[in-house]
Copies of this chain bind each other. A is one copy, B any other.
Amino acid sequence: MHTTNEPSDTVDTTEPTASRLLKVAAALFREKGYVSSTTREIAARLGVQKATLYYYMEKKEDLLYAICLDSLVHLRREVELALSQQSTPLDRLRTLIRVHICTILFDQNLHLTMIREMRELVGERRREVQRLRDEYEELVRQSIAEAQAAGVLRPEPRAKYQGLALLNLLNWTATWYLPHGELTPEQISELFTEMFLEGALPRGGVLPPASLEKE
């Protein structure tokens, strides 16, 4: 599922400037936000002078645009590849949740920056990134709709609305995940798959007598 790249929180300082630039920018944008991150600080982390950046980009916004594209293209590619290897609608949905979570958490700086900062893009770039995101969300809704059509998910709420719930579950995770916290991305995937599919009520749906409830 992943390439051989190292995790997103480390940067090999022997790499050439070009290939380090986006990772350094994504890390900084994630820490301080796009607008508060200065070209001075990006240059400092790269160990070059400010002016050197402009050999690799025309303007600061180029970095954000490249990060957003990278994030969405990569996410879509990973998920579609994984889905193509699953045959049943329910396995496809489980796979979508797992690969989505693992992908955004593996490259957390990239995906969190895309989600939080894409609105700082202007004009056509903003629209293009928004369209890529809309298309990905449509893929999520389709996966739900297929499972409903196969009868393995409840027909109500409709796919569009179950999709809202699932996307809430998936998107917010990037904001609180800590790489060395108590849950691994795999465990978070299992947690959300279980909660999304089965809900929080006891299995069987039969409630115990009210007298057992706390006062």
Contacts and interface: CB of A to CB of B under 8 A. Distances in A.
A169 B196 CA distance: 10
A212 B168 contact: no
Nearest to A31: B119
A191 B172 CA distance: 18
Nearest to A157: B191
A183 to B, nearest CB: 8
Contacts of A153: 200-202
B202 A154 contact: yes
Given A35-B33, A88-B213, A152 B202 contact: yes
Q: Which of A144, A197, A199 has the most CB of B within 10 A?
A: A199
A62 interface: no
A168 B116 CA distance: 15
Interface stretch (A2-10, A13-21, A48-56, A203-211): A203-211
A172 B212 CA distance: 34
Interface stretch (A64-72, A74-82, A102-110, A159-167): A159-167
20 contacts: A33-B33, A33-B120, A88-B210, A88-B213, A116-B116, A144-B200, A150-B214, A152-B201, A154-B198, A157-B195, A161-B191, A162-B200, A164-B191, A165-B196, A168-B172, A195-B196, A195-B199, A196-B199, A197-B200, A198-B205
